[in-house]
Chain A
């Protein structure tokens, strides 16, 4: 089967990076683009929602190796869609869930990592 041109970064490297980032940071957002230049509406909305409650968030731009990030994130969240937000390594939602948690005033608690 002809594989599409793979991004230059090997999959194992991306997989390891995802595990490390989730381990080292309380709140992580995997998004398309970065804080200054979000590249997709849902990613921009997810970032805005998190920033509304919290300044400190580790942002990972998945566009460098999108297919690899999708595959690497699936075991952590059960899904391949982007954006994906995590607190203490636990998947808390994509853009739509973050928005609905916000509407129910539950996002502040969700984003506060219990010690």
Chain B
């Protein structure tokens, strides 16, 4: 499933959404994707609820055609002051 299709699915399912779909660096294959979704409807919603809305927008495609999607969801205000994201402590097994 290509990125444009995923983008339009999310835009169709989430009101007034600005969506950018990307392939996360650590995954080269096509069906591990990432998406940044910015929409005012996320206001006062928890991360779990926001992600649920996006998962619902993707419906059956998720896990069938899209194996995994890494989501970052923001309201326009949150996205405006989004600064550098700190790295994550993934201790590599030797």
Residues of A at the B interface (CB closer than 8 Å) are 36, 40-42, 44-45, 48-49, 52, 70, 78-82, 91-97, 99-103
Total number of residue pairs linking A and B with CB closer than 8 Å? 53
- With A93-B48, A96-B51, A96-B71 as known contacts, state yes or no: A41 contacts B27, CB within 8 Å: yes
**B62 pairs with A81, CB closer than 8 A:** yes
Measured between alpha carbons, how far is A62 from B88 in the docked complex, in Å? 24
Chain B residues with Cβ below 8 Å from A100 are 47, 72
Kindly state whether residue B91 has any CB partner on chain A within 8 Å. Answer: yes
B90→A101 contact, CB < 8 A: no
Q: Across the interface, name the chain B residue whose C-beta is closest to A42.
A: B68
3 closest A-B pairs by beta carbon, nearest first, are A48-B90, A96-B70, A97-B47
Q: B residues bordering A, Cβ < 8 Å? A: 26-27, 47-48, 51-52, 55, 62-63, 68-72, 85-86, 88-91, 93
Are B88 and A49 in touch, CB under 8 angstroms? yes
Distance in angstroms from B73 CB to nearest chain A CB is 9
Min Cβ gap A94→B in Å is: 7
A residues within 8 A CB of B26?
41
User: Are B89 and A49 within 8 A (Cβ)?
Assistant: yes
Contact residues in B for A70 (Cβ distance below 8 Å): 63
Q: When chains A and B are docked, how far (Å) is the Cα of A82 from the Cα of B32?
A: 12
Please report the C-alpha to C-alpha distance between residue A103 and residue B90 in the assembled complex, in whole angstroms: 13
